Amino acid sequence: MQRLIDAYFNSVRAFRKLAASEKAFQQELMLLALALPLGWFVSISWRGYALLIGAVLLLIMVEVLNTGIEAACDAFSREFNVDIQLAKDCGSLAVLISVLIVAGVWGIAIIERITGLPI
């Protein structure tokens, strides 16, 4: 049980650090704050709402992992290194893919809401 408690406090520390200093994380938290009420009006079911919010949470999770990769790479070396560049670029690509997932999920939900037809 102590491990779970320690993990919780570690997570809270990371959340505070990212919320205070990482612009992308701050923007995604704002997106989540907007998505929570907006998703209620866009979705046509509880499952749809969960999918809309889940997609935004997935984006936030990938951003957190990307930030962790960047921090680990920077801790190793700040000098240019092809392998470090690849690691950072892959993290950035993962965030981009997550953004596309969010856009697709929300786009489909909006089309469903406008047309009244489930896609």
Annotated binding site for substrate: 3, 24-28, 63, 92
| Cα distance between residue 21 and residue 11, in whole Å | 15
- Binding site per annotation, positions for ATP: 3, 22, 70, 88-89
CB 35 within 8 A of CB 52: yes
Handedness of CA 114, 45, 42, 23 (dihedral sign): negative
Active site residues: 63
| Cα distance between residue 17 and residue 11, in whole Å | 10
- Binding site per annotation, positions for a divalent metal cation: 22, 70
CB 23 within 8 A of CB 44: no
CA dihedral 22, 25, 27, 33 (to 10 degrees): -140
- Binding site per annotation, positions: 3, 22, 24-28, 63, 70, 88-89, 92
